[in-house]
Amino acid sequence: MHLHRLEKIWLTIGIGMLAVFLLVLGTMAFSMGTTTPSQHHHTIDPSEVSTTAPFDKPGLTKAGDKHFEAVMVAYAFGYEPQTLEVPAGSTVDFKVTSSDVVHGFSIVGTNVNIMVVPGEVSQISHTFDKPGEYLILCNEYCGTGHEYMKTTIVVK
């Protein structure tokens, strides 16, 4: 196969640009410490959720001044604990897992929306600035009683 001189030039430029792009991308990722998401991935045995700390005692614990950690378990048509109470202006770090099927965790009126997969520990934080009652709903169909799966956060 015979390539014209201009075709060879353009192929050389294109391959050279690709090499430069990949070199710059790799160098920037390495220098910024970018890693794959799997290094921050926490899993537990879904059949052992009720005996694995901290999910053996779900609830709200104070982590600092107006800073709380909520450990929650999603199960067929419910969440444990049923109700959480925090003062206005508090930041809540949620740790949620499921022991049976895939569930959703969505706080109505906020941008909190995560998928809760059996055995995976899902984490998200939110600051509740306004007092009121916030509804947490499951937004992943999980069975025939899915529409009854909810809990509340009371912000005082």
Kindly list the domain boundaries of the chain, sorted by start residue: 5-34, 46-155
47 pLDDT above the threshold of 60: yes
Are 103 and 118 in contact by the 8 Å Cβ rule? The answer is no
Band the pLDDT of 10: cuts 50, 70, 90: very high
Q: Which of 151, 97, 104, 94 is nearest to 128 (CA)?
A: 94
**pLDDT (0 to 100) of residue 35:** 63
Check residue 82 and give its pLDDT: 87
29 vs 16: CA distance, rounded Å: 20
**DSSP output for 87-155:** -TTEEEEEEEEESSS-EEEEETTSS-EEEE-BTB-EEEEEEE-S-EEEEEE--S--STTGGG-EEEEEE
pLDDT band for 55, please (50, 70, 90 cuts). Answer: confident
Based on its alpha-carbon atoms, the radius of gyration of the chain, rounded to whole angstroms, reads 24
Regarding the domain delimited by 46-155, which CATH topology (the fold level of the hierarchy) does it fall under?
Immunoglobulin-like (2.60.40)
Encode pLDDT of 65-77 as tens digits.
989 999 999 988 8
Task: Give yes or no for residue 38 having a pLDDT over 60.
Answer: no
Give the pLDDT mean for 107-123: 89
Element (H, E) at 59: strand 59-64
Q: Which two tokens stand for residue 5?
A: 């001189």
Predicted TM-score (pTM) above 0.75: no
Percent of the chain with pLDDT over 90: 46
